[in-house]
Structure 1
Amino acid sequence: MDTLFSNDRITFNLKDAEIVYYPDFFTEQEANAFFEKLLTETPWQQDPITIFGKKHLQPRLTALFGNNEKPYSYSGITMQPHPYTELLLQIKSKVEHELNYNFTSVLLNLYRDGKDSNGWHADNEKELGRNPIIASVSFGAARNFQLKHNTDKSQKLNILLENGSLLLMKGSTQHHWKHQIPKTTKPLNPRINLTFRTIS
């Protein structure tokens, strides 16, 4: 796998994927301030998911915000969006300016410690359209983000998503790859992840 470095980003040359990582998209001061406000001001919820016929609470907290009142459904859960806050609009504006792309919605995830996780999946729900663009912003503790190709076992990647970073996934990535935030036994502080997307 070839990796291309520029002044502010890392581009991964992967099969059937377009992935770019911006490690210092927000300053540490900005990231820490955003984290504290999001942690206390977000209406977090913990929805049940069904695994092998049994219901379990998701191992993380979530919240959905949007500007078009479109719900988002995944893993048997349908979330209704809250109106964007001024803080989320501020973050969204910087992401959109960098990527030259407008997003309608953002899904927030709160990983309270290393036991909270998100299993292997792709962001390929029909309401995201074909070849969705996903922009993922991280605040708080750094967590490993793992990717694997659906059919080519030689194609896999681990990225440490750092405080204030931005990860961009676009092109056919969601059709050919899965990703996860694995559990860890290491003691970790909380992490908040914002995944901007377009829901039609």
Structure 2
Amino acid sequence: MFARMQHIPLPGGGLDYYEEYIAKPQTLFAELRDGVNWQQPLVTVYGRQHVTPRLVSFVGDAGRSYRYSGATHVTEPWPAPLKALREQLCADTGYEFNCALLNYYRDGNDCMGYHSDDEAELGDRPCIASISLGAERDFLLKPKAGGGKTEKLSLASGSLLVMLPPTQQHWQHALPVRKGVGQGRINLTFRNVL
């Protein structure tokens, strides 16, 4: 099922990148764009509230919640197109995923600042499986400790990026503004909330 896997070792972690994981990414993109309950919540950054610079949805097994940037998100049911995909990801990666945070970047102005997925609900060594659909965008990583080399990956539509443990303990990642991108991008970040 996988094509062109690239392992990217990082000091204190690593990434596995599969360029062509989803067979028909534009079909899945359209189903999710039109069928998900997208929201644009307020988040707290450095003590100030801001409108999230993208649309989000949190889906997963019943009764799960996830808190980040001062907001608590409670799962909505898995959209039909993601149920089988979640099972496939668990089988292919060997990791369990009981929820997914979905981000809809409507164009190149929507973005995500540097952060780590290291909230207590994810445990000490989380694995994050990230699927990209739609417009190709740059994904940046930098060491938490400062210094060191910043990594940049261009994430293709239909690709899977697996951020292996303990990457979240040592690295931050971001999706910067990319002027001139008029198409949308949906990112599915599968995770296991304890």
Instruction: Say whether the fold is shared (TM-score over 0.5).
Output: yes
Matches of residues 95-110 of structure 1 in structure 2 within 5 Å?
95-110=89-104
Could you tell me which residue of structure 2 aligns to residue 171 of structure 1?
165
Could you tell me which residue of structure 1 aligns to residue 29 of structure 2?
35
Given that residues 134 and 169 in structure 1 are in contact (C-alpha distance below 8 angstroms), is that contact kept between their aligned partners in structure 2?
yes
Q: How many residues align?
A: 193
Given that residues 136 and 154 in structure 2 are in contact (C-alpha distance below 8 angstroms), is that contact kept between their aligned partners in structure 1?
yes
SS state at 2:27 partner: helix
Given that residues 3 and 18 in structure 2 are in contact (C-alpha distance below 8 angstroms), is that contact kept between their aligned partners in structure 1?
no
Matches of residues 142-181 of structure 1 in structure 2 within 5 Å?
142-181=136-175
Deviations, residues 110-139 of structure 1 (Å, cap 9, x unaligned) = 000111000000000000001101000010
Given that residues 62 and 76 in structure 2 are in contact (C-alpha distance below 8 angstroms), is that contact kept between their aligned partners in structure 1?
no
Q: Does 1:76 align with 2:70?
A: yes
Given that residues 107 and 195 in structure 1 are in contact (C-alpha distance below 8 angstroms), is that contact kept between their aligned partners in structure 2?
yes
Rounded Cα–Cα distance in structure 1 between residues aligned with 2:130 and 2:74: 20
Given that residues 6 and 18 in structure 2 are in contact (C-alpha distance below 8 angstroms), is that contact kept between their aligned partners in structure 1?
yes
Could you tell me which residue of structure 2 aligns to residue 199 of structure 1?
193
Q: Does 1:55 align with 2:55?
A: no
Given that residues 14 and 155 in structure 1 are in contact (C-alpha distance below 8 angstroms), is that contact kept between their aligned partners in structure 2?
no
Amino acid at match of 2:182: L
Q: Give percent identity, aligned residues only.
A: 36
Indicate which of 10, 17, 22 corresponds to 2:18. Answer: 22
Given that residues 23 and 164 in structure 1 are in contact (C-alpha distance below 8 angstroms), is that contact kept between their aligned partners in structure 2?
yes
Deviations, residues 113-166 of structure 1 (Å, cap 9, x unaligned) = 111000000000000001101000010001100000112522321011110000
Taking only aligned residues, the RMSD between alpha carbons, in angstroms, comes to 1.4
Amino acid at match of 1:194: L
SS state at 2:8 partner: strand
Residues 51 and 152 (structure 1), Cα distance of their counterparts in 2 relative to 1, 3 Å cut? closer
- Superposition TM-score, scaled by structure 1 size: 0.92
Measure how far apart 1:51 and its partner are: 3.1
Given that residues 3 and 19 in structure 2 are in contact (C-alpha distance below 8 angstroms), is that contact kept between their aligned partners in structure 1?
no
Rounded Cα–Cα distance in structure 2 between residues aligned with 1:18 and 1:52: 29
